[in-house]
């Protein structure tokens, strides 16, 4: 695992964008994307760049069950606002959160087929404080493929700040599995802030265990971790160097 440590999130996001730009210039066609606060600055750089997405396919990690694409809390909406409206792709795939209401297995199977037909060249990830990647919480099988995830109470509480009241927060999502993520040829994972330091240490230096989903990345042949000084604060000097 290659580790890049920067002074702050903005510089880290610049380093992340450079990796995506280089990969695309070297022929990457299928780009795995993430949502949340972590990639926003990277997407901002992307929209201001001269990078041409018109021949690229994007595949997102996840989507809430029950939210329509025009709902301002859906990941469809997030991606449109932060990237697709300004830099559209040839084709963009995000799990079907509406089909998932009555047929979560069907929505999952559909998405697995999309990933099989469009192998991901480079995948962007964020890192949860408990070591989760996408909505794959501790205990998720490393063999998992796209599946319905029942959101934990802590995740529902954390997400409630984006909704009018907690009852409006979706209770489940359709999410790429760990095996889907690991199938990407290259992975870029970013984490910023002191609150991610424990998860970073466990991911990099701890045992590979389903109790820390991100630790599986130790087994991937091409991973770059981008962190700021705060997120790197609990790493050993050996890891930092």
Catalytic residue ranges:
62, 130, 132, 137
Burial label, 224 (beta-carbon count in 10 A; 0-12, 13-18, 19+) = middle
Angle in degrees, CA 197, 199, 202, rounded to 5: 110
Q: How far is CA 73 from CA 81, 178, 196, 213, 221, in A?
A: 11, 24, 24, 25, 34
Torsion of CA 187, 234, 127, 57, to 10 degrees: -20
What are the backbone angles phi and psi of residue 16, rounded to the nearest 5°? -65, -45
Task: Specify whether the CB–CB gap between 220 and 187 falls below 8 A.
Answer: yes
d(CA 237, CA 241): 6
Residue 36: CB atoms within 10 A of its CB come to 14
């Amino acid at each position: 695992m290659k580790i890049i440590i920067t002074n702050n999130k903005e510089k880290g996001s610049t380093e992340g964008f450079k990796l995506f730009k280089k990969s695309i210039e070297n022929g990457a066609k299928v780009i795995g994307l993430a949502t949340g606060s972590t990639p926003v600055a990277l997407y901002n750089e992307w929209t201001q760049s001269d990078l041409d997405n018109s021949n690229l396919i994007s595949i997102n990690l996840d989507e809430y069950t029950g939210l329509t694409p025009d709902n301002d809390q859906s990941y469809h909406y997030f991606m449109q606002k932060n990237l697709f409206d300004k830099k559209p792709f040839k084709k963009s795939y995000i799990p079907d959160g509406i089909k998932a209401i009555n047929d979560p297995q069907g929505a999952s199977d559909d998405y697995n087929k999309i990933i099989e037909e469009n192998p991901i060249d480079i995948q962007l990830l964020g890192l949860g404080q408990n070591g989760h990647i996408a909505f794959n919480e501790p205990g998720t099988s490393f063999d998992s493929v796209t599946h319905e995830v029942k959101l934990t109470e802590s995740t529902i509480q954390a997400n409630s700040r984006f909704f009018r009241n907690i009852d409006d927060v979706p209770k489940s999502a359709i999410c790429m599995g760990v095996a889907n993520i690991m199938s990407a040829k290259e992975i870029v994972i970013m984490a910023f802030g002191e609150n991610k330091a424990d998860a970073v240490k466990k991911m990099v230096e701890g045992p590979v265990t389903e109790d820390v989903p991100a630790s599986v990345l130790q087994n991937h042949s091409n991973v770059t971790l981008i962190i700021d000084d705060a997120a790197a604060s609990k790493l050993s000097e050996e890891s930092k160097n």
